[in-house]
Amino acid sequence: MSSVYRAIIQRRTIRRFKQKKIPRSLLKKLVNAGRLAPSAANLQPLEFLVIDKKELRERLFPYLNWAGYISPLGNPPVGKRPTAYILILINKKKENPLFTPYDVGASAENIILTAWELGIGTCWVKSLDREKISALINLPKNLILDSVLALGYRDEMPRLEVWRNSVKYWKDKAGCLHVPKRRLSDVLHINSLSSSIL
C-alpha cells in the first residue's frame, strides 16, 4: 500500500496529544506541504501562522471548540492539549472568494496527511472565536482567519465504524472515540446512478 493511501486510510482526527514538542523543522515541513497544494487559478491566497510558544498556545486554546456532537467529552484535557497550531489565513488581496474554500481544503488536507505520516495527529478546527483569535494574533485587515489546525503527537486512536444510522461519532466507556463512515457502496456509482454496484 502506498504511504499516502495508508495515511488516508489510517488517519483519524486526534484531540488528545502527548506533550512531546514538535520540532520546528517538522512544523516548517507541514507548512511546506500546505503551500504546495493545488490552488484554483494558482492564486495561492493562503498564508500560515505557526504557534508553538506555550504562553500563546494557552491563550489560543479557550477560543477553540472541540467535537460538537459529544461536547465537552471531546475537549483535550489539561496535559493532553495541542503542542502546536497552524492557523490558515486568507490574504484578501490575492484571493477569489469563490475559489478560496477549495484552496483551504486542499492545503489543510496536505498538512494533515503529511503530519500523520510523521506520527503527528491533527484536529481541523473551524468552530472558533474568530474575533478573539484575530485580536490575539494582531491579524492585519488584509488577512482573514479561516481554520486552525491543532497538532501534537497523538495520545488516542479513534476507531473507524461502519455507518449505521447516524453520522454522530461517540465515545465508549473506556474513552475511545468511534467515528462512523458511510460505506463505499453508499457513495460509489459506476456508469449509472440508478444502481449500487457493490
Ligand X SMILES: Cc1cc2nc3c(=O)[nH]c(=O)nc-3n(C[C@H](O)[C@H](O)[C@H](O)COP(=O)(O)O)c2cc1C
Closest to ligand X by CB, 8 or 26: 8
CB of 130 closer than 8 Å to CB of 64: no
Q: Does 125 bind ligand X (CB under 6 A)?
A: yes
Applying the rule CB under 6 A, the residues between 139 and 178 that interact with ligand X are 158, 169
Applying the rule CB under 6 A, the residues between 53 and 82 that interact with ligand X are 65-67, 74
Least separation in angstroms between residue 150's CB and ligand X is: 8
* Cα–Cα distance measured from residue 90 to residue 123, given in angstroms and rounded to the nearest whole number: 19
Q: Does 123 bind ligand X (CB under 6 A)?
A: yes
CB of 112 closer than 8 Å to CB of 150: no
Least separation in angstroms between residue 133's CB and ligand X is: 12
Regarding beta strands 177-181 and 159-162, do their DSSP bridges make them parallel or antiparallel, or are they unpaired?
parallel
CB of 106 closer than 8 Å to CB of 88: no
- Please choose, from the candidates 54, 62, 51, the residue with its C-alpha nearest in 3D space to the C-alpha of residue 138: 51
Expressed in percent and rounded to 5, the helix, strand and coil fractions of the chain are 35, 25, 45
Phi, psi of 32, deg, nearest 5? -60, -40
Least separation in angstroms between residue 58's CB and ligand X is: 18
Closest to ligand X by CB, 65 or 196: 65
Closest to ligand X by CB, 184 or 197: 184
Residue choice 10, 19, 127, 185 for contact with ligand X (CB under 6 A): 127
Q: Does 124 bind ligand X (CB under 6 A)?
A: yes
Chain residues that interact with ligand X, rule: CB under 6 A: 12-13, 65-67, 74, 123-127, 158, 169, 179
